[in-house]
Amino acid sequence: VLGLLRWRVAAVVLLLVGGAAFGPSGLRIISVSEPIELLSNLGLGLLFFLAGGDLRVQALPATPAWWTP
């Protein structure tokens, strides 16, 4: 844990790695039930929302590079 703090790894990355390690595709410590599936979908939606909040619209090009009318 101290090495990860020194690298300044984001908490989201640690949560994703922990979920993959302990979830049904890893060590199978956490089983998928309906409440856990609901929480995972809400968490994914929150992650997308927060990522969209960090997006600067001014940094996007007016038209995509592949678009040629």
Task: Output the tens digit of pLDDT for each of the chain's 69 residues.
Answer: 556 556 676 777 888 888 889 888 889 888 888 998 899 899 889 888 888 887 777 777 777 777 776
Query: What's the full length of the chain, in residues?
Result: 69
pLDDT at 16: 82
Residue 69: per-residue pLDDT: 66
* Residue 25, Ramachandran bin (φ over 0: left; ψ between -120 and 50: alpha; else beta): alpha
**If you search the block for the tokens 């979908």, which residue do you land on?**
41
d(CA 30, CA 69): 51
**In this predicted structure, what is the pLDDT of residue 6?**
67
Q: How far apart are CA 19 and CA 25, in angstroms?
A: 9
